[in-house]
Amino acid sequence: MYKQFIISSSPNILSSPVEYLKGVGTLRGELLKKESAIFTFKDLLEYYPFRHVDKTKIDKIASLNPGSDYAQVAGKLTHVELIGEKRSKRLVACLQDDTGQMELVWFQGISWAEKLLTVGHYYLVFGKVSFFMNQVQINHPEIELYAAEKAEGKKFLEPVYYSTEKLKARGLTGRAFAKLTYALLQQLSVKDLPENIPETLLSKYRFISRWDAFCSIHFPASEEMYTHAVRRLKFEELFFAQMRLGLLRSTRHRFSKGWTFNKVGDLFNTFYNTYLPFKLTNAQKKVLKEIRKDIGSGKQMNRLLQGDVGSGKTIVALLSMLIAADNIHPTNCDAFQSVLMAPTEILAQQHFNTISAMVKDMPICVKLLTGSSAAKQRREILKACEDGTLNILVGTHAVIEDKVKFRNLGFAVIDEQHKFGVAQRAKLWNKNSLPPHVLVMTATPIPRTLALTAYGDLDYSVIDELPPGRQPIATVHRFESKRPMVMDFIRDEIKKGRQAYIVYPLIEESAKMDYENLMKGFEEVKSFFPEPKFWISMVHGRQPAAQKDTNMQRFVKGDTQIMVSTTVIEVGVNVPNASIMVVESAEKFGLSQLHQLRGRVGRGSEKSFCILLTGNKVSKDARERLKILCATNDGFKVAEKDLEIRGPGDIEGTKQSGLLNFKLANIVNDRVMLEAAKNAATEIINTDPDLIMAENLPVKSYLQIQKGKTVWSKIS
């Protein structure tokens, strides 16, 4: 068991509250906390500038054009005027240099700007150039009084920081941040920023010292120094993130006791030799070996299993659960039990059907428990869990409710991980004296870079091979104008005996509209298929569970040929005879989600198709994204592209993961450095897990003084 606690920081100047810094004070201190999450000196030090300006480089107003990005101009203020009423109220000032004149505009912070501006004075102005009715403007510029002689000095790069209107109103402009940071660096010395990266890494990658890096990221002597500073601090960020994850994993490996399943017995062997309906792929065998090694080690397994849709994760889970059932508890001598938890009722039902069919001739007791299990049944199931007669419990999160007690819970499978939180995983652990081994399965391919950061504390297996004989799913993008042809195509396929899905987007913010679209779509589909033998099921989230289930079952049995639905059918649903997937408004889906949807077809022996429908007008961006899907069937490639396009923040399941909130690093652009940081951290942890070697002491002490950071330590 682990206990979470927070190590109090040693007295350290960097942990001083920001209001103690000269020039800040209580009021500004409060504002810095609220607006920029700057609480301490350290936070301010890590509030990095987003760019630097060379104060000696001044643009002429006449040289600004619609292609100009940011500009710095100096000139005389000739006019200030408040224009417009209420919401269109704005302050407009005219600035003139020897080549022309331009407008400076404020929509917010007007009273603050008014105080600052005096007609006839000279100002230095910096900001993003825009054009409005042919007039060159800068909206909300950084602005300060300009003394021409000050700029004559030698070239120096002045940092510019993000600021907000509220901060600016208190005088905390982007450039005021520079003054504060400068004052802070003056107060600090090298000893306040001790080295935290081992010597060998410093020299291997030729990193500059920590002190130099912090000085140079704010006030670089040259562009080159700035580059060095960023490189070093990015590595530091990635390296410590990897160290923390790696230490969590290593602590677990070393200390978290688990049940030892060292026996592969009759149940596994009988099933494998007699009932397994196909040959395992090499990838499945490899993963099974990894699992067997874990569960035989005496430590608790915590493994993430990734495999594209249809790669055959379920059978790996079943075989593992059979091994659990082959092993008996050391003291009560009853067999170990397993749970398989799925995110939805439909999926739980499906897993239950698959598994109970496969083991029907074996002495294995499998039960299904969901929110809608009848009371009598539920009582029987709970009893079987508690007295140990049940071997495998399949269900929704109902299986981890407190009422469910197991005699010997030894193995837990969680399907489609991103829908289950860590808290729920932890709950499973508390059911017996030792935690069960945990296998988390996901079909949402996670690019390696993301897996390293978001799930770095889990062990990680991949099924990177599909069972033989699968045909790639032909994917095309079609515009609305081609709808009649798409429908004709569906009709032809159905006449050959196939089934089709038509999926509508469901975006929660506009659930009502989506729902109306779905209903409209349903009527439309009906009118396209007036044939008496064409039956249509509809499934969506607003239906009562029973109705949803009936409609789903009719499609599964082949009583209906077309399934119109929202994304409730996204994960796991298995209807091998369905060979067409039509996605409406495909541009509204993420790429990985489209890939998931596409995985609903291509499950049988027939050639399958995925048709991505969009309006006639879609952005070039959207077309490019859909093209990726048309070009490849490989979920990992799709996920990599998705990550590149959307950035890590948007990938499902990672939003809450603070691990991705890097200040400097970006796991897409800096993936090479991420790998280097990962390797460095792994090597240290493998050779010196307690960080006692002299070389690694800087790492250890840095990890310990990280104020407020969570540290995990073993208790008893």
Nearer to Mg ion, 416 or 584 (CB): 416
User: What is the dihedral angle through the alpha carbons of 540, 546, 552, 556, rounded to the nearest 10 degrees?
Assistant: 170
What Å distances lie between residue 604 and 117, 227, 469, 576, 601, CA to CA? 73, 54, 10, 4, 8
Q: Minimum distance between the CB of residue 313 and Mg ion, rounded to whole angstroms?
A: 5
Nearer to ligand ADP, 285 or 623 (CB): 285
Q: Minimum distance between the CB of residue 573 and Mg ion, rounded to whole angstroms?
A: 9
Q: Collapsing DSSP states into helix, strand and coil, what is residue 601?
A: coil
**Token match 């960023």: residue?**
230
How is residue 56 written in tokens?
């000696």
By CB under 6 A, name the one of 75, 127, 312, 388 that touches ligand ADP: 312
Q: Minimum distance between the CB of residue 443 and ligand ADP, rounded to whole angstroms?
A: 5
Nearer to Mg ion, 245 or 394 (CB): 394
Using rule CB under 6 A, residue 29 touches ligand ADP: no
Q: Minimum distance between the CB of residue 312 and ligand ADP, rounded to whole angstroms?
A: 3
How is residue 123 written in tokens?
């100002």
Smallest CA-to-CA distance from 83 within 137, 164, 121 is with 137
Residues 6+ apart with CB under 8 A from 231: 207
Rounded-to-integer distance, Cα 80 and Cα 119, Å: 7
Q: Minimum distance between the CB of residue 394 and ligand ADP, rounded to whole angstroms?
A: 14
Rounded-to-integer distance, Cα 442 and Cα 450, Å: 14
567 binds, among Mg ion, ligand ADP, none (CB under 5 to 8 A by kind): none
Q: Collapsing DSSP states into helix, strand and coil, what is residue 346?
A: helix
Write the binding mask 159 to 198 for ligand ADP: x where contact by CB under 6 A, - elsewhere.
Answer: ----------------------------------------
The sign of the CA dihedral 366, 372, 373, 378 is positive
How is residue 535 written in tokens?
């039956």
By CB under 6 A, name the one of 159, 310, 395, 635 that touches ligand ADP: 310
Using rule CB under 6 A, residue 600 touches ligand ADP: no
User: What is the dihedral angle through the alpha carbons of 21, 26, 30, 36, rounded to the nearest 10 degrees?
Assistant: -20
310 binds, among Mg ion, ligand ADP, none (CB under 5 to 8 A by kind): ligand ADP
Rounded-to-integer distance, Cα 193 and Cα 217, Å: 14
Point out which span in 143-151, 185-193, 273-281, 341-349 binds ligand ADP (CB under 6 A). Answer: 273-281
Using rule CB under 6 A, residue 443 touches ligand ADP: yes
What Å distances lie between residue 67 and 55, 75, 127, 534, 535, CA to CA? 21, 21, 14, 57, 57
Using rule CB under 6 A, residue 604 touches ligand ADP: no
Point out which span in 143-151, 272-280, 530-538, 611-619 binds ligand ADP (CB under 6 A). Answer: 272-280
Using rule CB under 6 A, residue 593 touches ligand ADP: no
Nearer to ligand ADP, 288 or 324 (CB): 288
Question: DSSP E strands: which ranges in 399-466?
Answer: 409-415, 437-442, 459-463
Rounded-to-integer distance, Cα 550 and Cα 54, Å: 69
Q: Minimum distance between the CB of residue 607 and ligand ADP, rounded to whole angstroms?
A: 17
In the range 550-579, which residues lie near ligand ADP by CB under 6 A?
574
Q: Minimum distance between the CB of residue 263 and ligand ADP, rounded to whole angstroms?
A: 24
Using rule CB under 6 A, residue 210 touches ligand ADP: no
Point out which span in 10-18, 86-94, 219-227, 305-313 binds ligand ADP (CB under 6 A). Answer: 305-313
Residues that bind Mg ion (CB under 5 A): 572
Burial code (b: 16+ CB inside 10 Å, e: under 16) for 614-623 equals beeebeeebe
Give the containing element (helix H, strand E) for 367: strand 366-369
Rounded-to-integer distance, Cα 264 and Cα 510, Å: 52
Q: Which residues pair with 374 in a beta bridge?
A: none
Q: Minimum distance between the CB of residue 465 and ligand ADP, rounded to whole angstroms?
A: 9
Count other Cβ atoms within 10 Å, centred on residue 198: 21
Using rule CB under 6 A, residue 309 touches ligand ADP: yes
Q: Minimum distance between the CB of residue 281 and ligand ADP, rounded to whole angstroms?
A: 5
By CB under 6 A, name the one of 242, 300, 302, 314 that touches ligand ADP: 314
Binding residues vs ligand ADP (CB under 6 A): 278-281, 284, 307, 309-315, 443, 467, 574
